[in-house]
Every structure is written in C-alpha cells, then in structure tokens.
A and B are shown apart, each in its own frame.
Chain A
Amino acid sequence: MPNRFLRFLFYGMLILCGFLIFPSGISAQNSSADIRIADSKGDWGYPNPYKHYPRGPGYLRMAWVFDTLVWKDQNGYTPALARAWRYDPDSLSFIFELQEGVLWHDGKPFTAEDVVFTIEYFKKHPYPWVSLDKVAGAEARGPYEVSIKLKEPYAPFMAYIGGTMPIIPQHIWKKVDDPKRVQAPDAFIGSGPFKFVDFDNAKGTYLYEANDDYYMGKPAVNRLIYIKAKNPLMTLLSGKADLVNIKPDMAGHLKKKGMVVLESPRGWNKKLMINHRKPPLNDKRFRKALAYAIDQQEIIDKAHRGFGSSASFGLLSADHPFYNPDTPGYPHNPERAEKILGLLGYQKNQAGFFEKNGVPLKMEVLVSNITVAGESMADRDGEVLKKQLQNIGIAVDLVNLEQATADAKVRNWAFDLAITGHGGLLGDATILNRMISPKFAGSVNSARYGANRELRDLLDSQRKEMDVRKRKAMVYKIQAIYADELPAISLYYPASMAAYNPNKGIAWYYTKGGIALGIPIAQNKMSLIRR
C-alpha cells in the first residue's frame, strides 16, 4: 500500500508539472480581429454612467458604449450624435442638429427626445461627471433637433456637457428609479461604436463587441478587450495587448522593437498641497519661501530620471491654449528662501534649523502612491523634497501613507504639506475653478482657497464669459494671481506615455484637450472608427 501511495504521489506530481509547464507553447495570442488594451488596475466599474469608477479609465470604458453629442479627436471637437451645433446668445441656448438614422444597441431609433430625457434624468439622478446646475432645461425642436437652454452664460458648456454627457435611451431608463443599483443588461444599451458584453470584476477584464450598425460606420475591429497586466512592456511585446501605458524609460526599447510610442501633452501635474489655513502656512510670504526652496528640476532628475518638465506656478502647462507665459515664477533660490524666513522672525539654531521663540520650524509632509492615467505611481518625490526643505533649515517629518488615508487627512485639513497630483489640465480652463475655488470642497487636489477676493471673482466671471478672447485674458490673470498667492505649488508635469503595436492597423493618439473633461489617455474611440 505504501508503495502504491508513493508511486501515485510521484506520478501525480509529474502530471501536475507537465500540466503547469506544457501550455506555455499554446498560450492564446491575439486574434487579428481583436484589440486588447492593458492597464495595471483592471477594474474600473461597470461601463454605464452610474456604475463606472469616477476616474478617466472608468469614463473611457463607459464611452465605448455611450456616445455624447459631440466628441474630440486630435484636432478638437468633432460631430458625434450631433452633426452640427451653434450657440444662440439671445436665447442663451445651444442648438444641436442630431444625426438621423442612429440606432440604440437594441435596434430602437435615437431621437431628440432621448437628449431631453437624458438632461431631465441627470438633473433628477445626478451623474457626477456632468453638472447641470447651469442648464435651465432642454426642448426637442423636431425629431432631430434639440435646444438646451442655460440659466446664464456658461463658457465650459461644450467641454463639460456637450462633449462629456453620455446620452442614455429614454425607453430603458424611464423605468429605472435607482440607477446605481440597476444591473439588467438593458442598462448597458447605448449608441456607441461598441456593445458591452462582459465585465469580470474579479479579473478586471472587459469585453465589447463591435456595433455593426454604428452611424459612423462599422468599427475597425470585431472585439475590444481590456485586460489587467502588471508589466506593460512584456504584455505589449508578447502580444497579449496592443496598447498599454508605459513608463518613459521603456520608450527606447519599445521603439527598437517596432512599437509606436506616444507622449502625452502636459495635462497632469504633481503638486504640493499646502494647509494655508494654519500658521505659518497661512502667510503668503512663508509659502513663497517654500517655493524658492524647491528645486523642481532636481525632483524630476532624481526621482524620475529626468522624464518630466517643471510646472508653471499658475497650474496650466504651456500645452494649454490659455497658458499665461508671464505667470510669476520662483526659480530655485535657497538664499532668498532663508532670507524670507529671517524676515518672518525665524532664526537658525545650532543644528542649522530655523526656530521662532524657541519653537523649531517643523513640517509634516504626507506622501502616497498616486494613480496617474490609471497606473499607480511610486516615486521618491517626498525624499527629494524633504532634503530640499531641510537644506534651507526647515525640519521635515516625511509620512508615507496609503492613498485613501492621505486623501482623508488632506480633505479634513489634518496636514501641513502633502504631495498629491491631478490631471484635467488639458481641458477647459474651468479646471482652475475646480482646483482653486473653495466651492469645490470634495476634491483633495483642490487648494480650496478663498482668501483673495479678486481671484474668487475672476474664477466666477471667466466661466460666464462666452467671448474667447476676453475669457483668455481673465484666465491669464487668474494664473498670475494664483502663482502670487501660492495656495498650492505645482511641482512638475511627469512624462506620460503610451505604446501600441502598429501591426494591428490602428493609429492611437492623445486627444487635443484630453477626452471629455480632459482625460490624458490615448484611448480615443475615434481611433477605431473608419472614416
């Protein structure tokens, strides 16, 4: 019996080893009719407006299924469900002429009533990506024309509503009272180029099938698949994915292997959040001393091997059409930083650190891994910053926290300094309101700064200014004041890249102004539309 047992065990192990190793040769590769996109997180929620995760990758997974009135490609706005549009200042209305012959995925026709219904439904059941506060209502002016009336002039309308609001089918959603809980297949019926087939939240995979009846033509591939993969380089080179986000230092190797590498315009910034409510950080002069103490280029060089560019202290990068090139700057100048601290009454002690009235000047800096374009980024920004601040005599306690914990502390003003970051800088200039104004209390990336009245007024006014030239002048001024007040300090714009396999015949690109609100991810659905 023992002999039999040992023999059984031996052969069992042998078979198991064979079973584990043998499939290496037959592991599935891509079908040419599929496009596979990989990222490291995988799950971004179910792809409908109420169930996707509220970050860029979640919106993109939804956008394959649900179309908007207009869309953006590499040149700017382009028709989607609306083939033409205009603004009527007299009636404060945007008028959209809709495409005819558009079908929902279940074969029912799309009409202006669906657009009207979408606006009413989103007003009743808010979709966080689209704020309809400034919309008075919508009216169908025929089966294929709709007018959306505003309460007051609203400059970001096209970016924040026309190009972001997914249109949902009235015949399905009119029966839904709790949109967050709806799970029926109907809830994924849209008018987009792909039909939703499956989402496996455990594996973080998505499957879409081409919508053959798409009003702009049948998509270039039959199936679109998202997979979760930890190593983008290997995933792309092994053919398991056709498009991945990459780290900049992978670019050279991938180019040699025949892959196409794309670099995003600067639409994402790493920044130093400042608790400007507590002393001494509530003093603008102290914040300026911090700015002079920080060497942006050193952070890029030491923590990111030189991949990235110094950020403007006015938040918007030179890639934004409203960027103010005359925004005040703070070139690295530790002597000046020390001089300012001296003027504020600080003196250096024997250890070389500043103190005031016997109380040492000490700052706690929160750091955590931050998600950039769907990828979690670990870096050494905190360590480099700590050294820079200590060099001028500010003692620093570096605290590394898990992101949700760090976010909660920043949200509740329970911090001194925190390194965080956000995107959206390629989209409409309303991002300045969202990242500066105290009205947007829910974002941990917002400076929530209301101490400068002129800045507050300008932020409010620029959103109402429909004249592009006048609005641009206001946005210039906002950047200048923000850079002077320094309620937060932008550190750098990291280099953000994607790579794809050109043999699939698809040319991916970064969207001008970012997708929808300004998502800096190279997954524009128009890449898969033959036009």
Chain B
Amino acid sequence: MASASRKFINNDLGLVVTFCLAALLMTFLSYGLPRFLPGDFVTATYGASQVTLTAEQESALRAYYGQGRGFGHYLSRVARFDWGYSYVFETPVSALFFSALPWTILLMGSAHVISMAIGFVAGVEAAWRRNSPFEKAMVGGMTVLEGIPEICTGVILLFVFALQLQWFPAAGAETAYAEKDFLAHVADVGHHLALPLCTLILAYFPGNFLLTRNSMIMVIMADYIKTARAKGLPALRIRYVHAARNALLPVVTRFGMRLAFMITGALVVEKINAYPGVGTLLYNAIAARDLPVIQAVVLMSSLIILTIFFALEFVYRFIDPRIHHAR
C-alpha cells in the first residue's frame, strides 16, 4: 500500500503537476499571443466600413474595447469559466463557442472515427496479404492520397459533387429554418455533412491505413503469431484478436493526437464548406480581431490537446499492460 502511494506520488502526481503547469502556460499564451496580431478590432471593423469615424469617435470606441485588465484578471475570469463578451456580437463568448462546438464535434468526430475504423481494418487486411496486388495497390494509392492536402480534396469534391452534379449542398450544416419533421431534419444535416466529411475522411484515412499496415507487419512476424498459426486458430481470429490488438497502440496515439487538434484542424474544411464550426468561428474572429473569441478558442483548443495527451497516458496502460508494469 505504501509502495503504491509512493509510486503515485513519484509518477502520477508528477504528471498532474506537469499538466497543471502546462495548462497555466497555455493560458498565458492564449492571453498574450493574440495581442501580437497587427491591427485591432476598431480598425478591422470600422476602418473600411460604411461608417466613417471622427478621431473622437474612434478613440471612444478604442477605449471601450480596450478595457483589458492584465493577465491576473484574465486568469481569474478563466478560472470562473467567464470568457468575456465577443466584440463583434456583444454576446458571451461561451455561448458562441458552445453553439459552434457541436458542429465541429459532429464533423471531426465522425471523420476521425470512420477514418480510423476503415483505415484500421484496411491496414490489417493489407498487412495480412503482404506483397499481394491488393496490398501493393492500396499502399501506392494511399501514399499518393496522403500527399494531397485536404483543401485540394475539398475543392475538387465541391466542384464535382456540389457545383457540377449538384448532388450535395455546397455550404452550411442544414437548410436554414426549413420546416421539417425530426427525421427529415436529421437527413438534411447528413446531406450537408457529406462533402466536408468525405474531405476529412480522404485526408485521414490514408495515414491510418499506412500506420496500421506498418505496425501490423511488425507484429505478424512475431513468434506468438507463428504459434497461433501452428495451433490452427482461424486466420480472422489471429488477425484481429492476437495481432491487431498489439498493432493498435500507434493508431490510438494518432487518433488521440488528431482528436486533440480537432478544433483547429477543422478550420480549412469548415471554411471552404462554410460549415458553422469552431474553425469558422476562429477564422472570423481573427479577421475581425475579436480578441475575446480568439483567446477563448486558442485556450480551449490548447487545453483539449493537453487533456487528450494526459488521457492518452492512461489509455496506453489499458491497451498495453506492459506500459503500466514498466512504470
């Protein structure tokens, strides 16, 4: 018992302290970095607007929007989950963030889960059929696909399926204010989701496939797989129960890291598909120099990254007991 406590203090407590210090640093960076953006809200909003400000009007607005009271005040507000008010919308930043977050989770979450599932299965199957035409074609194809940036895939999909064929809507997450029943509404959301989702799946799937395949190739050469084969176990069981579980670790790491960049990672795809997620919120906030919104999104995305990395530590122990015992 005493030994377990000492182990916790030495290892886990150290991890928690490191996590807290990193969170504090992230909070400071989220406070400080957006302030280095050239220009400010008043110039970005009124500088080229229909309204032409006199010097007095301009300084009054600058005084109103420049009421920041230092990092200590910011930190205390963050601790109280008070993210302030958006300059553009004059509404609480939290309301803006949480109205955009579900769309990002729907898009990015679906893309990650689907690309991981099919990437994993395809990777396992390709590794098992090493040197077959299927494996060679998949590896070649996926290597090419991995090199194509999502902005390129996204624009091509939009051009073909939205502009030319008109099968899918080019923008948005649902038909605005359409008077529909629940099922039709769900279908409408799915229809709008299709293009950005496919763009992301095409971006993430090749990486998952290649990683699983490589990892799996190493595993299936191990002695215990030979033993399993010698025992006459079904091939499917050897692939997925014996081999794939041990090939899972790098895939989970990649999944976690990708998930951690969920908020900012969606920026490009959300922008080209006019999808109303956190990426779009951040993009618009930067364009308008809406400092409270930029700070909140940067802070939340960095804390999510930190939390996921922290959680991954424990997930590893669950997936691979060797990590736990090694500590």
Contacts and interface: CB of A to CB of B under 8 A. Distances in A.
B259 interface: no
A46 B117 CA distance: 42
B88 A45 contact: yes
A322 B276 CA distance: 44
Given A20-B197, A409-B38, A422-B48, A227 B176 contact: yes
Interface stretch (A228-236, A288-296, A297-305): A228-236
B191 A27 contact: yes
A93 B61 CA distance: 30
A370 interface: yes
A461 B179 CA distance: 56
Interface string A41-74: 0110110001101111001000000000000000
A444 B47 CA distance: 5
Interface in B165-190: 166-180, 184, 187-188, 190
Contacts of A20: 190-191, 193-194, 197
Interface in A348-374: 370-371
B238 to A, nearest CB: 9
Interface stretch (A97-105, A149-157, A198-206): A198-206
A107 interface: no
A223 B177 CA distance: 10
A403 B166 CA distance: 32
Contacts of A225: 176-177
Contact of B38 (A27, A131, A198, A405): A405
Contacts of A235: 170
B143 interface: no
B103 interface: yes
Nearest to A206: B176
Contacts of A131: 54, 57
A207 B175 CA distance: 12
A59 B51 CA distance: 10
Contacts of A36: 176
Nearest to A370: B48
Interface string A1-39: 111011001000100100111111011100100101000
A407 interface: yes
Interface stretch (A256-264, A324-332, A387-395, A435-443): A435-443
A378 interface: no
B80 to A, nearest CB: 18
A240 interface: yes
Contacts of A51: 89-90
A31 to B, nearest CB: 7
Contacts of B5: none
A191 interface: no
A411 B91 CA distance: 28
Contact of A442 (B58, B191, B288): B58
A279 interface: no
Contacts of A198: 177
B52 A440 contact: yes
Interface in B101-158: 103, 114, 117-118, 121
A230 B274 contact: yes
A185 interface: no
A240 B162 CA distance: 13
B163 interface: yes
Contacts of B78: none
Q: Which of B52, B179, B197 has the most chain A CB atoms closer than 10 A to its own CB?
A: B52
A461 B96 CA distance: 47
Given A43-B284, A50-B90, A201-B89, A439 B55 contact: yes
Contacts of B178: 28
B8 to A, nearest CB: 35
Contact of A405 (B39, B50, B53, B240): B39
A31 B85 CA distance: 36
Contact of A434 (B52, B91, B169, B236): B52
Contacts of A129: 50-51
B90 A238 contact: no
Given A28-B188, A231-B163, A423-B50, A201 B38 contact: no
B162 A22 contact: no
B176 A2 contact: no
Contacts of A31: 179
A181 B90 contact: yes
Interface string A423-439: 11000000000110001
B176 A207 contact: yes
A28 B53 CA distance: 43
Contacts of B45: 53-54
Contact of B47 (A59, A203, A411): A411
Contact of A228 (B61, B172, B190): B172
A54 B274 contact: no
A517 interface: yes
A446 interface: yes
A249 interface: no
A128 interface: yes
Nearest to B180: A28
A445 interface: yes
A404 B55 contact: no
Nearest to B103: A202
Interface string B189-201: 0110110010000
B171 A442 contact: no
A22 B187 contact: yes
B236 A24 contact: no
B194 A54 contact: no
A194 to B, nearest CB: 13
A235 B169 CA distance: 9
B162 A234 contact: yes
Given A45-B89, A407-B48, A205 B176 contact: yes
Given A2-B236, A23-B188, A440-B53, A202 B276 contact: yes
Interface string A119-153: 00000001011010000000000000000000000
A493 to B, nearest CB: 17
B57 A128 contact: yes
Nearest to A229: B171
Given A223-B177, A229-B171, A240-B169, 11 more contacts: A13-B114, A20-B194, A22-B191, A26-B188, A28-B175, A131-B57, A180-B64, A404-B44, A408-B39, A422-B48, A442-B53
Query: What are the 3 closest A-B residue pairs judged by CB atoms, nearest first?
Result: A442-B53, A408-B39, A28-B178
20 contacts: A2-B236, A3-B236, A5-B240, A20-B193, A21-B167, A28-B178, A40-B274, A200-B99, A202-B281, A231-B162, A231-B163, A234-B166, A370-B48, A403-B48, A404-B37, A404-B43, A441-B55, A441-B58, A442-B57, A444-B43
Interface of A: 1-3, 5-6, 9, 13, 16, 19-24, 26-28, 31, 34, 36, 40, 42-43, 45-46, 50-51, 53-56, 59, 126, 128-129, 131, 180-181, 183, 198, 200-205, 207, 223, 225-231, 234-235, 238, 240, 370-371, 402-405, 407-411, 420, 422-424, 434-435, 439-446, 517-519
